[in-house]
Structure 1
Amino acid sequence: MRPLKIVAALALIPFLAACAGKPSLEDASLSTRELELEEFFDGRLVAHGQFQDIFGTVRRQFVADIRGDWDGQRLRLVEDFTYEDGSTEQRVWTLKKTGEETWEGTAPGVIGVATGVEKGDRFNWRYTIDLPVPAADGSVETVRVTFDDWMWLLSEDRLFNRAYMKRYGVDVGDVSIFFEKK
């Protein structure tokens, strides 16, 4: 293959990845379960997850201990992450129910306000955040990414989350997380 054809083929990869199907709130529900964030995330949870780049390579894995508190008006989530390399991070979300099925939330690093919609057994959460990312030299860089975050209630105490990440409008990977109530 000629070098020009190789370059053209490689340039198409991000565009083809962007064409991959993504969930929609209009998709048929696969269960009769109803996700109520304030109920599921009230209490203690553990989450296991990983980040994969657009080529499918797992780049990072983590476990998160989560403490949720619903006071009838706001849901506060304290997430303590431990990564495979031993590094740690804490993110504290404050969410407010803005309607029967709508939510808004903030957390340090989130640009503006995150917005979300519940429908049946799923929840879609969208936001832009400045994430700390370890660099090859051991330092930490801040990278601004946009999340299109999808959650599905699997059972009373289990939830699956897949978050699609973009940077500069281009897909960079996704995060898969399995949540379990303690």
Structure 2
Amino acid sequence: MKWISTLALVALTACTGKPSFDDASLSDRELNLEEFFDGPFTAYGQFQDILGTVRRQFVVTIDGDWDGDRLRLVEDFVYEDGSTEQRIWTLTKTGPTVADQTWEGTAPGVIGVATGREQGDRFNWQYEIDLPIPSAEGETETLRVTFDDWMWQQTDDRLLNIAYVKRFGFDIGEVVISFEKE
């Protein structure tokens, strides 16, 4: 009986709404990804599973560099348990017009190429990645998941990110991050 309840909960969460570019904008801001992420900033985040239990918290110091052709983000994670991780993203704008603000990016662990789109105050970023996950035995395993990140510029120096995380096509949780420019 317990597994039926769990299966019903998983099916129900798979039907929950997600953001869309068709949603009304709540801001008159225009996110400019390369401008916002050029320079140093700090991000505070957490991962919570589909039941709402917070499983991990982290702080990320990020150094962004836009050179006119590519955006490079060096992300240094520190988790609540003291473990660390570094991820280096390289993004390029593939649609340079106002009507076509698209991006592609790569980083170690990312499967293939990440793709993204800017519109108004928001940015959607999608990719598949092999994430390092600490095990109960103290070793590190990898978990292949897909991310559907939605970012909204809230102020000149703050951006909110909600990432919907799936494994084998099923929702497993969300990552909520607040980016703050220094």
Which TM-score applies when normalising by structure 1?
Answer: 0.96
Q: What's the CA shift for 1:9?
A: 2.1
The equivalent of 1:176 in structure 2 is 176
Letter of the aligned partner of 2:175 in structure 1? V
CA distance in structure 2 between the aligned counterparts of 1:59 and 1:9, rounded to whole angstroms: 21
Unpaired runs of 5+ residues, structure 1, are none
Which TM-score applies when normalising by structure 2?
Answer: 0.96
What is the SS of the residue equivalent to 1:116?
Answer: strand
Letter of the aligned partner of 2:145 in structure 1? V
The equivalent of 2:149 in structure 1 is 149
Alignment equivalent of 2:57, drawn from 58, 61, 69 = 61
Letter of the aligned partner of 1:131 in structure 2? L
2:37 is the alignment partner of 1:36: no
Deviations 1:112-148 (A, max 9, x none): 0000000100000000000000111111110000000
The equivalent of 1:85 in structure 2 is 81
The equivalent of 1:129 in structure 2 is 129
CA distance in structure 2 between the aligned counterparts of 1:159 and 1:7, rounded to whole angstroms: 38
Q: What's the CA shift for 1:14?
A: 1.1
CA distance in structure 2 between the aligned counterparts of 1:134 and 1:37, rounded to whole angstroms: 32
Deviations 1:92-113 (A, max 9, x none): 0000000131000000000000
CA distance in structure 1 between the aligned counterparts of 2:129 and 2:5, rounded to whole angstroms: 31
Letter of the aligned partner of 1:122 in structure 2? R
What is the SS of the residue equivalent to 1:39?
Answer: helix
CA distance in structure 1 between the aligned counterparts of 2:9 and 2:106, rounded to whole angstroms: 33
Letter of the aligned partner of 2:68 in structure 1? G
The equivalent of 2:159 in structure 1 is 159
Deviations 1:45-69 (A, max 9, x none): 0000000000000000000000000
2:3 is the alignment partner of 1:7: yes
Alignment of 1:91-110 (within 5 A): 91-99=87-95, 100=97, 101-110=101-110
CA distance in structure 1 between the aligned counterparts of 2:44 and 2:178, rounded to whole angstroms: 5
CA distance in structure 1 between the aligned counterparts of 2:136 and 2:13, rounded to whole angstroms: 26
Q: What's the CA shift for 1:7?
A: 2.9
Aligned residues: 178
What is the SS of the residue equivalent to 1:85?
Answer: coil
Q: What's the CA shift for 1:10?
A: 1.8
Alignment equivalent of 1:20, drawn from 1, 16, 38 = 16
**Runs of at least 4 residues of structure 1 off by over 3 A?**
none
